[in-house]
Amino acid sequence: MNAASQQLETIPVTRLKGVGAALEKKLNSLGIHNLQDLLFHLPFRYEDRSRIASIGSISAGETVQIQGEVVSTDIQFGRRRSLRSTVKDNSGFITLRFFHFSNAQKSSLAVGSQVRCYGEVRRGRSGLELFHPEYRVVRENEDIVVEDCLTSIYPTTEGLGQTRLRSIANQALAFLPPNADGDSIVGSTLQELLPDELIKKYRFRSLVDAIRLIHRPPLEAPLSWLSEGKNPGQHRLSFEELLAHRLCMRRFKSDAQQQSAPKFSDSPALVASFLEALPFTLTNGQQRAYKEIADDLARACPMLRLLQGDVGSGKTVVAALSALHAIAQGYQVAIMAPTELLAEQHFANFCQWFEPLGINVGWLSGKTKGKARITQLASVDNGDCQLLVGTHALFQDEVIYAKLGLIIIDEQHRFGVHQRLALREKANQHALNPHQLVMTATPIPRTLAMSAYADLDNSVIDELPPGRIPVNTAVISNDRRDQVMQRIESACKENSQAYWVCTLIEESEALQCQAAEVTAEQLTLQLPDIKVGLIHGRMKPQEKVAIMQRFKQGDLQLLVATTVIEVGVDVPNASLMVIENPERLGLAQLHQLRGRVGRGSTRSHCILLYQTPLSKAGKQRLSVMRESTDGFYIAEKDLELRGPGQVLGTQQTGLMSFKVADINRDADLLDQVKEASELVLEKYPEIIDPLIQRWLGDNVLYANV
Ligand code: ADP
Ligand code: MG
């Protein structure tokens, strides 16, 4: 970078020709304020406009560029008013059709003017038509110049057309330092943040070359260059973006490592008593995970660890063992679950395990009210309560812990990155920070573990307790509902039990519960010999507990439920699950649900009862469920089919939503990103802030709430 060069981020867009206040506002709404923003506003696809087709040779379905003379323009009144303009060249005629148009447009298409148009050919009212083509009037003695590179199509906003945006982007590109062809206005530049060492090592383009290559790809490049992630410029930017995200997550982690936490060293006597009382021995996977956690707890900086394991792998026991370390040293433990029902299950488990050991277990949810709430809060505050189980209510302002040493979050993919970080902030109000253990219900695909969870260390329970028989899954159309009824009847005749899960599109919990009620009534009529129960999210906590107890004791044979039973329900005698409209759920969620059966010693079955017609994508997803019971495999597929935003539930927020990168497409970059982030942390810490600022901008603040 030479001394005379000016950073493009300091040059406002208004410096460009034709950018006045009105256009500036539009650009601002796209997040574009200066020339650097403009250059980082990247096209999402390309078109080939290097050739002008002769009108006589084109056919419907093609996307073409034509040029010709306007021979008529008029407004047609039909079912919808439209502007029709006929254009001819020496091979034929074609109609341009606009349903939205202005008077200015009408006059620009005056008879006799030459226009160049680009658009898709369709069969319309008057034969072949171009619907809403991009067009421009060609001046009289203008040469027929065609594009010398593929044409970039940009994300844009209302009232800002591609032609205009492209011309502005081209102006900004001209500010870049000269390339081999030497076209540059001044010696201004974009700051290259990646150290030479990295660029050489991975043979990346320089930032300037990368930007140029994305905006102005050569004509020989494939039109799918961007969608397939093959443009080397895009490749380099994806890398830089993923690196920025990873460094941001690593920053959270290293911040935590600067903090102090209480040390829980020796394995307490409580652990021995607890293990003795358990009716089983730990699997090797559980033992390994527990040891990793115990090692962390013995350090003086806060643990940030992810505990992964498939449904039913026994994460709760490992959490309990960890909790005993804190409790034995006089510290409190908070266990947070994403739903009331799961929290209740944990509460029941922990009471059963810990009360015999003389440990005081408390309960708090948003629904804990009145005197119960006051008493509970007081006992957390004065330290009597040693283990508090609940929902996110555990971290409301009014909850004050006397001595919080460990937070356990049963994440179940519902708490996003943000909530996790927010919680950490909240917990960090004392001189000593609590340790944190995050349990995920569904395994996290490696790509996400390396990006969205890069701030956490990782423990994996990679086996199920012995004796589990994999659930057999069938995908059945709703037309064959009768067969499903028979299956339920015969299962119940053999003294087994079944779930019927209702899923609904409606956002409203009330409607979901109503539908489950209707289904329960219908099933009661259709299966007169079977005792049918109902559970849903709108029931009172005591009612839910009562129903679950009756189901567990075998009083009820068929339990109709909304997806509230997704987590935490443990009834080994249930061996059949019917999931209605499974096509509406994500794979991870289906896997969770299915994990509710297959807990006993008999073979279990899961019936995915779909509504016809089923889309191709829907079929594909359900067949993943039929083929596999491996949570790790299913999670990978889920990510592939739905994308990270959906899987993490973060598409609304900045973190983990990428401008250039795509976790699936760019998965092969992640190892390099990981390696590079270590190198940057060690040798080039000065580029961390600018990189995070460039790619995450203000979203980092959001992450830090
Ligand atoms: P998840 O990992 O899905 O949270 P849980 O912790 O709920 O699984 O455990 C599932 C079931 O397996 C529980 O009934 C639990 O008591 C039982 N379990 C846990 N560990 C073992 C083990 N090592 N051997 C036998 N059963 C176990
Ligand atoms: Mg669990």
Q: Which of 440, 224, 435, 237 is nearest to 334 (CA)?
A: 435
411 and 304 housed in the same domain: yes
| Residues 678 and 597 grouped into a single domain | no
* Nearest to 362, CA basis, from 321, 322, 401: 401
Same domain, 487 and 560: yes
Ligand nearest to the CA of residue 319, numbered in listed order: 1
Cα–Cα dist 102/85, whole Å: 13
- For residue 241, the model assigns a pLDDT of 93
Ligand nearest, relative to CA of residue 410: 2
Best-predicted range by mean pLDDT (348-362, 613-627, 629-643): 348-362
Please report how many Cα atoms fall inside a 13 Å half-sphere around the Cα of residue 122, on the Cβ side. 11
Contact assessment for residue 193 and residue 694, using Cβ atoms and an 8 Å cutoff: yes
pLDDT of residue 1: 42
String of b and e for 168-185 (b: at least 16 CB within 10 Å)?
bbebbbebbbeeeeeeee
Distance spanning both ends of the chain, measured CA to CA: 37
Q: Is residue 34 part of a domain?
A: yes
Instruction: Find where tokens 């083929």 sit.
Output: 627
CATH number at residue 600: 3.40.50.300
561 within 8 A of 534, measured Cβ to Cβ: yes
- Ligand 1 centroid to residue 403 C-alpha, Å: 29
Distance 541 CA to ligand 2 centre (A): 19
DSSP for 621-659 reads HHHHHHH---HHHHHHHHHHHH-HHHHHT-TTSSTT--S
Same domain, yes or no: 80 and 37: no
Does 651 map to a domain? no
Q: For residue 240, report the distance from its CA to the centre of ligand 2, in Å.
A: 37
User: Of the residues 275, 280, 283, which should be mutated to test ligand 1's pocket, given the most ligand atoms within 8 Å of the CB?
Assistant: 280
> What DSSP element (H or E) covers 121?
strand 114-124
Q: What is the side-by-side order of every strand in the sheet holding 558-561?
A: 472-477, 605-610, 574-580, 497-501, 558-561, 532-535
User: Between 31 and 657, whose confidence is greater?
Assistant: 31
Please report which ligand is nearest the Cα atom of 343: 2
Estimate to the nearest angstrom the gap between the alpha carbon of 213 and the chain centroid: 29
Q: How many whole angstroms from 422 Cα to the centroid of ligand 2?
A: 23
Q: Compute, in angstroms, the gap from residue 280 CA to the centroid of ligand 1.
A: 9
Does residue 35 lie within any of the structural domains? yes
- Among protein residues, the one with the nearest Cα to ligand 1's atom 19 is 314
- Whether 76 and 107 map to the same domain: the answer is yes
pLDDT of the residue at 288: 97
Q: Could you identify the atom of ligand 1 that is nearest to the CA of residue 286?
A: 23
- Please report the pLDDT score of residue 248 as a whole number: 87
Distance CA 512, CA 562 (A): 7
Note the residue count of the chain.
705
Residues having CB within 6 Å of any atom of ligand 1: 280, 282-283, 286, 309, 311-317, 465, 570
**pLDDT confidence bin for 594, thresholds 50/70/90:** very high
Q: What is the CA radius of gyration of the chain?
A: 31
* Burial class of 668 by CB neighbour count within 10 A (0 to 12, 13 to 18, 19+): exposed
| Domain that residue 90 falls in | 51-146
| Digit-coded pLDDT (tens) for 146-163 | 678 899 999 998 888 888
Task: Give the pairing type, strands 82-89 and 92-98.
Answer: antiparallel
Go through 560-597 and write b for each residue having 16 or more CB atoms within 10 A of its CB, e for each that does not. bbbbbbbbbbebebbbbbbbbbbbbbbbbbbbbbbbbb
Q: 119 and 40 in one domain?
A: no
Closest ligand 1 atom to residue 278 Cα is: 16
Q: Does residue 637 sit within a domain?
A: no
Which residues, in sequence order, are CB contacts of 329 under 8 Å at separation 6+? Answer: 262, 264, 268, 405
- Atom 16 of ligand 1, residue of closest alpha carbon: 314
**How far does residue 350's CA lie from ligand 1's centre (Å)?**
13
Q: Are residues 327 and 202 both part of a single domain?
A: no
- Judge whether 642 lies within some domain: no
Mean pLDDT of the chain, nearest integer = 87
Name the residue with the closest Cα to ligand 1, atom 23: 282
| Same domain for 239 and 220 | no
CA of 592 to the centre of ligand 2 (A): 10
Q: What would the pLDDT profile of 219-243 be if each residue is shown by its tens digit? A: 888 888 888 888 999 999 999 999 9
Ligand 1 atom index nearest CA of 282: 23
For residue 311, give the ligand 1 atom closest to its CA: 3
CA distance 532 to 121: 59
Highest mean pLDDT among 124-128, 188-192, 313-317: 313-317
Bridge partners, 46 (sequence order): 152
- At 8, the amino acid letter reads L
In this predicted structure, the answer to whether residue 33 has a pLDDT above a threshold of 50 is: yes
Going from the Cα of 360 to the center of ligand 1, the distance in angstroms, rounded, reads 23
* Probe residue for ligand 1, chosen from 317, 411, 567 as the CB with the greatest number of ligand atoms within 8 Å: 317
**Which among 111, 146, 181 is the end of a domain?**
146
Q: What whole-number distance in Å separates Cα of residue 278 and Cα of residue 264?
A: 23
Write out the two tokens for 605.
């079955």
Predicted pLDDT at 216: 93
CA 116 from chain centre, in angstroms, equals 42
Task: Return the ligand number nearest the Cα of 567.
Answer: 2
Q: Is residue 605 scored above 70 in pLDDT?
A: yes
Both 357 and 409 in one domain: the answer is yes
Q: Name residue, tokens 């109000």.
A: 429
- Closest ligand to C-alpha of residue 596 is 1
Which residue among 200, 228, 256 closes a domain? 228
For residue 2, name the pLDDT band (cuts at 50, 70, 90).
very low
Question: What's residue 568's pLDDT?
Answer: 55
Query: Does 393 reside within a domain?
Result: yes
Count, in order, helices (H) and strands (E) of the chain: 24, 21
Per-residue model confidence as pLDDT tens digits over 213-222: 999 999 888 8
How far apart (Å, rounded) are the C-alpha atoms in residues 593 and 577? Answer: 9
Cα 321 to ligand 2 centroid, rounded to whole Å: 14
Burial of 621 (C-beta count, 10 Å sphere; 0-12/13-18/19+): buried
Taking CA atoms, 31 is separated from 26, 160, 163, 412, in Å, by 9, 14, 19, 34
Whether the CB-CB separation of 270 and 358 falls below 8 Å is answered with no
Same domain, 119 and 158: no
Distance 311 CA to ligand 2 centre (A): 7
From 311, 313, 464, 596, mutation site for ligand 1 pocket: most ligand atoms within 8 A of C-beta: 313
| Predicted confidence band of residue 169 (pLDDT cuts 50, 70, 90) | very high
Residue 477 has pLDDT above 90, yes or no: yes
Measured by CA distance, the residue closest to atom 14 of ligand 1 is 570
3-state SS, residue 418: helix
In the DSSP assignment, the letter for residue 311 is T
130/189 same-domain check: no
Give CA–CA dist 234/215, Å, rounded.
Answer: 10
383 alpha carbon – ligand 1 mean position (Å): 30
Q: How many domains does the chain have?
A: 4
Q: Which residue blocks in 137-231 are alpha helix, DSSP H? A: 162-173, 196-201, 207-215
In a domain, 451, yes or no: yes
Q: Which atom of ligand 1 is nearest to the CA of 315?
A: 2
Burial category of 85 from C-beta neighbours within 10 Å (exposed 0-12, middle 13-18, buried 19 and up)? buried
Report the atom number in ligand 1 closest to the C-alpha of 349: 16
440 and 316 part of one domain: yes
- Selected residue with higher pLDDT from 556 and 176: 556
pTM over 0.85: no
Token pair recorded at residue 445: 């695909």
Q: Is residue 633 part of a domain?
A: no
Chosen domain end from 105, 126, 146 = 146
Domain containing 97 — which CATH number?
2.40.50.140
